[in-house]
Amino acid sequence: MTKTVDDAAPSGRALGTLADLVADGEVVILSGAGLSTESGIPDYRGETGRTRRAEPMTYQTFVSSAPARRRYWARSHLGWRHIARAAPNAGHRAVAELQARGLLAGIITQNVDGLHQAAGAREVIELHGSLDRVACLSCRRRSPRQDLHRRLTAANPGWHAVAAEINPDGDAVLTDEQVETFRVVDCHRCGGLLKPDVIFFGENVPRPRVEECFSLTERAGMLLVLGSSLTVMSGYRFVRHAAERGIPVAIVNRGPTRGDSDAVVTLDAPLGAALTALLRELDAQ
């Protein structure tokens, strides 16, 4: 039976059950956007996402429409500044600490913000890629996002816009008038289309990456989901994979998730507070 607590500073039996599972080690983390909301990055479906109607770019639209690419890059150029300034929060630092204590077998993140690594975590599998890299769709060359940021800044002297809000993927909300004069640059090596090295909606995660995550899940002592509603199959499939093999699943998230029925314990609480409390519980054992 799933045990749940809903408390700003979780404690009690559910937290103790989670700590006992984590203390056994070989934990695989599966993190989602809810882990980064305390760093100022909103999510699509959680507490911050419910107030917005996000319309993320699809891969098909991006590759087929020059106006759509101009709109995307104008909005992303401005939004990237927000993502690049974001700092790890207590939840990211707690995950890095669990890894430093030798309790983790691996980290899979659905996030594209790089905050796990910024907190000190190592060998993170970025399921959906990372915004700090750019890929050419022709020559496949990858380059740092900061290089593109400098090129776009140089190509748009005097361009200035103020975002109404920032979406989870670093996409700033701008008006059509704000983006119509923005100039896009192409790959400086081959002239091909540039795309952030992330998985857009309508695009498949590379099969080798998916297989690596399945393999990691199969070897796990437990799967710990952090800040994901598991609405999309991209992450939920690993929960199902673990549950079908009798691997314990635990979930820490704000609000219910698609995987709650697969979990042996859930915590409905802010991620930073919950993971900080988890570390204290482990220290007390």
The CA distance from 83 to 245, in Å, is: 37
User: Is 167 annotated as contributing to ligand binding?
Assistant: no
Is residue 229 within a helix (H) or strand (E), and if so which, with residue range?
none
Q: Which residues are catalytic?
A: 128
User: Is 136 annotated as contributing to ligand binding?
Assistant: yes
User: Is 34 annotated as contributing to ligand binding?
Assistant: no
User: Is 253 annotated as contributing to ligand binding?
Assistant: yes
User: Is 7 annotated as contributing to ligand binding?
Assistant: no
User: Is 228 annotated as contributing to ligand binding?
Assistant: yes
The CA distance from 230 to 243, in Å, is: 14
- CB neighbour burial string for 242-277, b if at least 16 within 10 angstroms, e if fewer: bbeeebbbbbbbbeebbbbebbbbbbbbbbbbbbbb
On the 0-12 / 13-18 / 19+ scale of CB atoms within 10 A, 82 is middle
User: Is 229 annotated as contributing to ligand binding?
Assistant: yes
List, edge to edge, every strand of the sheet that includes 27-31: 3-6, 265-268, 249-253, 222-226, 27-31, 104-109, 124-126
The CA distance from 68 to 62, in Å, is: 6
Q: Residue type at 211? A: E
User: Is 170 annotated as contributing to ligand binding?
Assistant: no
Bridge partner list, 28: 106, 223
User: Is 111 annotated as contributing to ligand binding?
Assistant: yes
User: Is 258 annotated as contributing to ligand binding?
Assistant: no
Antiparallel, parallel or unpaired: β 249-253 and 222-226: parallel
What does each C-alpha distance from 185 to 69, 75, 188 come to in angstroms? 10, 14, 8
User: Is 227 annotated as contributing to ligand binding?
Assistant: yes
The CA distance from 230 to 44, in Å, is: 12
Instruction: Scan for tokens 């709109």, then name that residue.
Output: 71
Q: Residue type at 77? A: H
| Binding site listing | 110-113, 136, 139, 187, 190, 227-229, 253-255, 271
| Binding site listing for NAD(+) | 110-113, 227-229, 253-255, 271
| Binding site listing for Zn(2+) | 136, 139, 187, 190
